[in-house]
Amino acid sequence: MARRFYLEGKSKIQIAEEFGVSRFKVARVLETALERDLVRIEIRVPAELDAERSDALRARYGLRHAVVVESPADATEDALPGSPGFAGSAPTDPENLGEVAADLLGELVNEGDVLGLAWGRSTIHMAAALHQLPPCTVVQLTGVYDAGTAERGSVEAVRRAAQVSGGEAHPIYAPMLLPDPATAAALRSQTGIARAFEYFDKVTVAAVSIGSWEPGISTVHDMLSDEERAHYASLGVAAEMSAHLFDAQGRRVGRDLGERCITVEADRLRRVPEVVAIAGGLRKAAAIDAVLRSGLVTSLVTDTAAADYLLSETGSAPRPALDRADPDD
């Protein structure tokens, strides 16, 4: 009976008919086989995923989904500034985060959904790794880091996701940061960009990246002048997501910056049912903590280096992410 059930995939009813007994008898026999160790069931998690950290992280921050990937063996570049392993370079999120996020997105997106993609290296890696998506509309949630590389960045990510899903693509051919609010407002009124903005309230699943307030790890930081960086640093900026700035407690600061940006508003993002953040590495860990405290993110794909920091005693217990109220309120 055990062979039929576990190896051949036959139902208990089929086995009962074959052996001339009731299906309840089959169920009791299968239970006995487990109790007597005649059958052993083993659940294996893929080696690159850390189930224990994933569960702990989800519980700590009140996330719907938390997926922790093993950090690369060579993580010296990802050391914190001032530490012995710090190489002074600007690491990006490991590409395998994008691959895992692509798998998660394939499970979260349903037919007819509107998928929103924000600018970020991790979201670009994720889009490149997509192999299947239900039919859905894909919209770009932010402008691009450099309009000259749009075809190889966010725009291409949106097109790629739409191609995989067979749905419509609504890219944004505009820089994320503009010189002043008037220029940004003028761009938002352009037909193509305005059409994309119309979908923001319809987004059901969004994928975003997180940056810490350091050169090379925050696109907004790199686009600002030295004077502007100093100004926002004085406000206590610890993290950036989709051109929105947060202090260490998850409170939004420097809101005036949003007036110069082509990006989804934080209030609209807060209304999206599922917001997946993709970010990893020790240098981003504090920034990830800050954004999770904001309540804007419902799910996280990260690595063990960041997870260990997030699970350590870094301060008071964080606000659960599923409480989508604004921390400023």
Residue 232 and residue 254 in contact, taking contact as beta carbons nearer than 8 Å: yes
Q: pLDDT band for position 279 (50/70/90)?
A: very high
The string over 311-327, giving b where at least 16 C-beta atoms fall within 10 Å of a residue's C-beta and e elsewhere, is: beeeeeebbebeebeeb
| CA dist., res. 87 & res. 66, Å (int) | 29
Three-state SS for 121? helix
Sign of CA dihedral 178, 293, 121, 171: negative
Q: Please name the residue that has the structure tokens 């220029």.
A: 183
Q: Residue 235: its pLDDT value, please? A: 92
Burial class (CB in 10 A: 0-12, 13-18, 19+), 137: buried
Q: Which tens digit of pLDDT belongs to each residue from 107-148?
A: 999 999 999 999 888 888 899 999 889 999 999 999 987 544
Q: Letter for the amino acid at 244? A: H
Residue 255 and residue 247 in contact, taking contact as beta carbons nearer than 8 Å: no
pLDDT exceeds cutoff 50 at 78:
no
Report residue 73: phi and psi, to 5°.
Answer: -60, -40
Q: Which tens digit of pLDDT belongs to each residue from 234-265?
A: 999 999 999 999 999 999 999 988 899 999 99
What's the DSSP call for residue 49?
B
Gyration radius from the chain CA atoms: 23
Q: Residue 134: its pLDDT value, please? A: 93
Average pLDDT on 295-319 reads 84
pTM: 0.78
Mean of pLDDT over the chain: 85
Sequential DSSP letters for 186-207: HHHTSHHHHHHHHTGGG-SEEE
